[in-house]
Structure formats: structure tokens, C-alpha cells
Amino acid sequence: MEDERSFSDICGGRLALQRRYYSPSCREFCLSCPRLSLRSLTAVTCTVWLAAYGLFTLCENSMILSAAIFITLLGLLGYLHFVKIDQETLLIIDSLGIQMTSSYASGKESTTFIEMGKVKDVVINEAIYMKVIYYLCILLKDPMEPHGISQVVPVFQSAKPRLDCLIEVYRSCQEILAHQKATSASP
Amino acid sequence: MVENSPSPLPEREVYGFPPRRPVLFLSSQFGFILYLVWAFIPESWPNSLGLTYWPQKYWAVALSLYFLITIVIGYLLLFGINIMSSSPLNSIHTITDNYAKNQQQKKYQEEAIPALRDIPISAVNQMFFLATK
């Protein structure tokens, strides 16, 4: 079962949340970030090239112009490969673990998997990030203390959805975690 | 005066009189008057009196300008320091700290106000987001 809704992120951009319910114990949430807009790309390119042309009129060295073209191309490729995230996915499998996938604009994908034995809870936390934002994070258990938290792993870091989207994801995750706790508590 | 009490009265508030710390008040007033005298009186008058060792007049403008710029930068710097000292999103300090970890649990008594303590974030989230609206 699959369904898609649109939300907005903390800056006002549009996000699309796709929920797939594979089974009662396995769910996937896929957040698509807005694509690289043509407007910002042309704005950055124009400023860099105008600045290079200004330097060229000062120095009369034509290497500056070719260097500017080179820098723009390399910068764009580097940005698409290392910075610009297209889609973030959270896959929860009851009794197995939680997997987070980020896929970049150049096609690169990076995946992180946390096994269910380490997961204490999935919560919505508030923190200061230029302003106060809500973000979803996974709390990991502390092996020493039964009720302690050893680490906080934030998810959807580049998409940064707002609270309404987070509440949807939170409720679905809590259903699975409650189911998992019930089955793990009973012998 | 209608009343002789030292409490703030409307007519007294405007002048801040009597001053709470007379030493600081008097010394700052004296320093200000001295600064104005030094900045405006031409060199010849104090020289004829015998007071010859003053700093250059350039500093009369420069110091006040430095002071003004320092205040403006102070605002920006304070904002920057605040932002820099807030914990990153993946830090454990956004969830708990040493005081919350070591707090003692008091026994619940009927009809008494419960003791003040830190509620774990899982319980807070369940109350906010899972309770049916």
C-alpha cells in the first residue's frame, strides 16, 4: 500500500512524503526534497562570471576567465555529488532494525543501518538551529544503564520537514515499535 | 517633598536622585566633564596654566568612535556566541544532562502535588503526539 502527500520544510520549500506499508511490521517513508532550481543556478553562475570579468578588466589576464569557467563546472559537480540530497528514506523493519538512505543528485546513495537491539525509541526533539526546529531522531540504548541514552541520531537532516510531517512519521514508527516491544516482552 | 521616604517617587525617577552609588556617579560625571574640556579647549589655555602633558586631540574623536563601533560589534558578537554555543542536533545535551540522570525518584503520595522532576522525552512525546486529538 502506498500513498503520497505534500508537506513543507522549515524554509517553506515543498516536500513530498511517500509512505509505503509493505506489511504490518515493515514501513518505509520517503521524503523528496525540491530539486536544484534553474533560477539559483543561473544566479550563482552569473555572479561568479561577472566577478571574474571584473577581475579580468582589472588585471588583463585571460586565465581568470578560464579559471572561472573551470571553478563553476567543478563547483557544480561537487555540489551535486556531495551536498545536494534529492531523497531521504527511512525504512523500519520490526525486529530487524532501522535503515536510513540518502540519495544525492548525482546518483550517489549513502545508507546507515541501526539494529533494533540498539534502538531505544524514536522521538521528536526540539533544538536550536538558527531558530527552534522540530526534528525526528532515534535514541540509542546505553549498554551500561537500562534507562540511559547513549546517542542521538537525527534523521531527515537535509529535508528538514515541519512538525505536521514529523507527526505522521512518528505515529507510524511508534506503532511498529509498540508492536516490537510487545513481542519482545513476551517470552 | 510631600513624603520623605527613599522609595521611588514619580518626580524622583526622572533624575535618578538620590544616586544609589554616589562614588561611581560622581566619578563618571567628573570624567565626562574632563573629556569635554580636553576635547574643546584649545591648546594654549592649559599650556599657559602649566598643564602641558595631554594626549593628542586626535584621540578625542578616535576613542569615542572606537567605543561606538565596539558596542555595535558587541551586539553581533553576542548573537554569534549564542548561536555557536548551542549544541548540535545530534548531541545528547538536547535530551538530558547530569542533573536529570542523577535525579532521585520520590514515592508518589495520594492527594499531594507530585515532586518536580525531569520527565523523559519518550513520555513527553507520547503525551503530545500520540494522545488522540
Q: Are residues A52 and A64 in the same domain?
A: yes
Q: Are residues A133 and A177 in the same domain?
A: yes
Query: What residue type is B108 in one-letter code?
Result: Y
Ranking A67-76, A110-119, B10-19, B67-76 by mean pLDDT, the lowest is B10-19
Mutation target vs B (from A120, A145, A149; most B CBs, 10 A cutoff):
A149
pLDDT-based confidence at A133, cuts 50/70/90? very high
Q: Are residues A69 and A45 in the same domain?
A: yes
pLDDT-based confidence at B17, cuts 50/70/90? low
pTM: 0.77
Which domain-ending residue is among A26, A53, A80?
Answer: A80
Mutation target vs A (from B87, B121, B126; most A CBs, 10 A cutoff):
B121
On average, the pLDDT of chain B sits at 81
Whether B96 shows a pLDDT value over 90: the answer reads no
Q: Are A33 and A8 in contact (CB under 8 A)?
A: no
Residues of A in CB contact (< 8 Å) with B are 120-121, 123-130, 135, 137, 139, 147-154, 157, 167, 170-171, 174
Chain B positions touching A147 (Cβ under 8 A) are 120
Answer yes or no: do B86 and A128 touch at CB < 8 A: yes
pLDDT-based confidence at A144, cuts 50/70/90? confident
Chain A positions touching B101 (Cβ under 8 A) are 148
**pLDDT for A130:** 83
Answer yes or no: do A123 and B121 touch at CB < 8 A: yes
Q: Are A176 and A27 in contact (CB under 8 A)?
A: yes
Q: Are residues A157 and A74 in the same domain?
A: no
Task: Give the integer Cα–Cα distance in Å for A125 and B125.
Answer: 8
Whether A186 shows a pLDDT value over 70: the answer reads no
Which domain-ending residue is among A80, A98, A116?
Answer: A80
Chain B positions touching A137 (Cβ under 8 A) are 89-90
Whether B31 shows a pLDDT value over 60: the answer reads yes
* Residue A178, domain extent: 1-34+82-183
Mean pLDDT of the A40-45 span:
94
Q: Are residues A40 and A117 in the same domain?
A: no
Chain A positions touching B130 (Cβ under 8 A) are 171, 174
Q: Are residues A51 and A108 in the same domain?
A: no
Q: Are residues A63 and A132 in the same domain?
A: no
Q: Are residues A94 and A7 in the same domain?
A: yes
Q: Are residues A88 and A72 in the same domain?
A: no
Chain A positions touching B117 (Cβ under 8 A) are none
Q: CB distance from B103 to chain A under 8 Å?
A: no
Mean pLDDT of the B97-103 span:
83
**pLDDT for A184:** 77
Q: Are residues A24 and A113 in the same domain?
A: yes
Distances (CA, A) of A101 to A79, A109, A114, B109: 18, 7, 12, 48
**pLDDT for B15:** 59
Q: Are residues A176 and A133 in the same domain?
A: yes
Q: CB distance from B127 to chain A under 8 Å?
A: no
Q: Are residues A19 and A55 in the same domain?
A: no
Among A116, A122, A115, smallest CA distance to A175 is for A122
Task: Give the integer Cα–Cα distance in Å for A159 and A57.
Answer: 41
Q: Compare CB distances from A152 to B95, B128, B129 and report the shortest one's residue.
A: B95
SS3 B20: coil
Q: How many CB pairs under 8 A join A and B?
A: 54
**Number of structural domains chain A divides into:** 2
Among A59, A108, A61, A70, smallest CA distance to A86 is for A108
Taking CA atoms, what residue in B is nearest to A135? Answer: B89
Which domain-ending residue is among A44, A64, A80?
Answer: A80
Nearest-CA distance from A128 to chain B in Å? 7
